[in-house]
Structure 1
Amino acid sequence: MTRAKLFSGILISICFGLFLSACSNGESESKDTKKEEVRTATDAMGEVTIPANAERILAPNMEDSLLALGITPPAQWAIGTTVHNYLQPQLKDVPTIEWDLPLEQTINAKPDIIIFGSPGSIQNGKYEEYKKIAPTYVFKEEESADWRKQLQVMGEIAGKEKEAKAVLEDYDAKTKEQAAELKTAIGDETAAILWVIGKQYYLFENSRFAANVLYTDLGVTQPEMIKALPKAEAAWNPISLEALSDLDADHIFLASLPNEPGLASLKASSVWKGLPAVKAGKIYEMEDPSNWTSNGPIANNITMDQIVSVITKK
């Protein structure tokens, strides 16, 4: 064998060995990547394996948290034609899915992961059926009920912990500024929130939905009637028109769609006309109640802006 042929053979062997090594490394990296594609988390049902980089996150009634993290869901929560109106600027082109997540609609949404707000929100014991469609995460009640915790957990699920932290920091900074502005405008004057839907009236307890923004975040003083209300429970009982005669608030936020039949009855009543806030002209009509009856960074930001705007006449 000539020296040239010998050298050529050695070179081919070296190249082939490098090729095998590269393939081997590629397979190893591929296996490592696959290992990183899922992770184990603990939810209300136990341990669940979830995709680490899920893109199609189906989380009905928790779209506020998703959107705040920059995630658009494959479908949005609905009850018939009712949706979260305040989120429609971001969700107007997103198809709806009925509130009880029918299996066929859930399959059609092609989720990478399905998220429920609590075990009780899973209808008809279909948990195992949902798991066959996609990995299913079920929030613990105390985590989904607190919008801050919900956002943080959602950030962990979606791999957006930094984004969740930034949202909370921005909200807290804004709250501090707006609370100071409101204090300058009204001092210790009191305020209350009344929601009208159909022919029913609902007075917000100090910890329900937008009341968290009004009293806790912005530090507005509660009227005596609100202080005397029992602690907010999941079941929300309406208040009678007659009972509203005790509403001693200096300011009233009236959350109602303009065509609600109870609204006309309320305004025509002597009870309403006799309230201190009505006499003083300090009634603020919020014609889209959807953010007032929701909790989340987007809802709360909108509510905060509306409160400060109407009171300070911005």
Structure 2
Amino acid sequence: MKSTKNFRFLFFSIVIGLLLIITACGNNDDSTTETKNENKESTETAEVTLDSAMGEVTIPADIKRVMAPFHEDALLALGVTPVAKWAIGETVQEYLEKDLKDVPSIEWNLPLEQVLSHEPDLIILENNMDGYEGKYEEYNKIATTYVMTEETQTDWHKQIETFGKILGKEEAAKKALSDYETKVTEAKDQLKEAIGDQTVAAIWAVGNQFFLFEHNRHSADVVYNELGLNQPALVKELGDAQNAQWNPISVEKLSELDADHVFLLALEGEQGIETLENSAVWQSTPAAQNGNVHILNDASNWTNKGLLASEKTIDDIVKTLIK
């Protein structure tokens, strides 16, 4: 009898233990489900209201189809692929084509019918809208339209931050900017060790015309103001870039360029390459005499400003100057 009681006690103890385990597992499953739901909710973007050049704009939640012509650099830096990419005819931003080759083009002046055909949820426009075919109100009827402030348009760092807020990717924006600063610091140290105080210049050859970059023109801002590379006297003489238009410089004037290194940005077979090779005055410059004229066939990242453009420019410089 005693053994039977002991058996029953043991049996009920085991059953109760199993029930406790099952209950605990059930609770854990519920907890896991709740956690998953919380994580799922945290990935969904919320509605946000921001200042713009047109006043306050409320961006709807969970934007999926974004259009930001000519500023696809910032979208890609945040992991967002646009529904259409900026183009002038067949000309696109080549340095972005690795990510955008399958994305359809939209003409630079944003014809309303083309915009409508891409069915955007959000349109991001430049501060000066004079070049667009449509007016703000017309684009805003197609989709929520955000017009950048001048600061956001001209400062790509600020643009990354703003786009991060618009698209619910503020953490991605912070990481992208932090990673970029690390890249700049590392490259700056490497270049200082490799070339010391030597001077660097960049020339863009288009046909048989030559354009010398001022210190703050497009990605030259990276060369001089972020990497801290030294400007030759002729670049200092140019001063600040005054506007979007720039004037060509003659080969005779280029003969005064006393740079130790010159990046010559020119498509393969461009007439300007042959012109310089056959110019006695150009061949007498320090960079030409020392074999330090470095030809780069893709100028697209150098003629733009953006996080990805700047990163590629840094890669071009490091690869070329650090042996």
Same fold (TM over 0.5): yes
Q: Does 1:202 align with 2:211?
A: yes
Cα pair 1:65 1:296 within 8 Å, conserved: yes
1:253 corresponds to which residue?
263
1:216 corresponds to which residue?
225
Q: Does 1:110 align with 2:114?
A: no
Taking structure 1 as the reference length, what is the TM-score of the superposition?
0.85
List aligned pairs for 1:257-296, cutoff 5 A: 257-296=267-306
Number of residue pairs aligned between Structure 1 and Structure 2: 278
The code of the aligned residue for 1:56 comes to R
The separation in 2 between residues aligned to 1:121 and 1:232, in whole angstroms, is 22
- Which is further off, 37-46 or 224-233? 37-46
**SS class of match (2:211):** strand
The separation in 2 between residues aligned to 1:286 and 1:123, in whole angstroms, is 32
Cα pair 2:111 2:133 within 8 Å, conserved: no
Tell me the alpha carbon deviations over residues 209-266 of structure 1, each in whole angstroms, 9 at most, x when there is no partner: 1211111121111111111113112221111221111111000001111132223222
The separation in 1 between residues aligned to 2:114 and 2:71, in whole angstroms, is 17
**SS class of match (1:257):** coil
2:105 corresponds to which residue?
96
Tell me the alpha carbon deviations over residues 111-150 of structure 1, each in whole angstroms, 9 at most, x when there is no partner: 1110012133552552111111011101111221111111
List aligned pairs for 1:287-306, cutoff 5 A: 287-306=297-316
The code of the aligned residue for 2:254 comes to L
List aligned pairs for 1:59-208, cutoff 5 A: 59-120=68-129, 122-124=131-133, 126-208=135-217
The code of the aligned residue for 2:310 comes to N
User: For structure 1, which runs of at least 5 residues remain unmatched after alignment?
Assistant: 1-35
**SS class of match (2:314):** helix
Q: Does 1:44 align with 2:57?
A: no
**SS class of match (2:238):** coil
**SS class of match (2:255):** helix
Cα pair 2:46 2:168 within 8 Å, conserved: no
Change (3 A) 1:162 1:200: same
Identity in percent? 51
Q: Does 1:231 align with 2:231?
A: no
**SS class of match (1:291):** coil
**SS class of match (1:246):** coil
**SS class of match (1:114):** strand
Please tell me whether Structure 1 or Structure 2 has the larger radius of gyration of its CA atoms: 2
Cα pair 1:225 1:247 within 8 Å, conserved: yes
**SS class of match (1:104):** helix
The separation in 1 between residues aligned to 2:208 and 2:273, in whole angstroms, is 8
- Which is further off, 255-264 or 287-296? 255-264
Cα pair 1:119 1:140 within 8 Å, conserved: no
1:243 corresponds to which residue?
253
The code of the aligned residue for 1:231 comes to D
Tell me the alpha carbon deviations over residues 60-116 of structure 1, each in whole angstroms, 9 at most, x when there is no partner: 000000001000000000000000111111001000000000111100111111001
The separation in 1 between residues aligned to 2:234 and 2:221, in whole angstroms, is 16
Cα pair 1:60 1:76 within 8 Å, conserved: yes
The code of the aligned residue for 2:277 comes to K
Cα pair 1:251 1:282 within 8 Å, conserved: yes
Change (3 A) 1:157 1:261: same
Taking structure 2 as the reference length, what is the TM-score of the superposition?
0.83
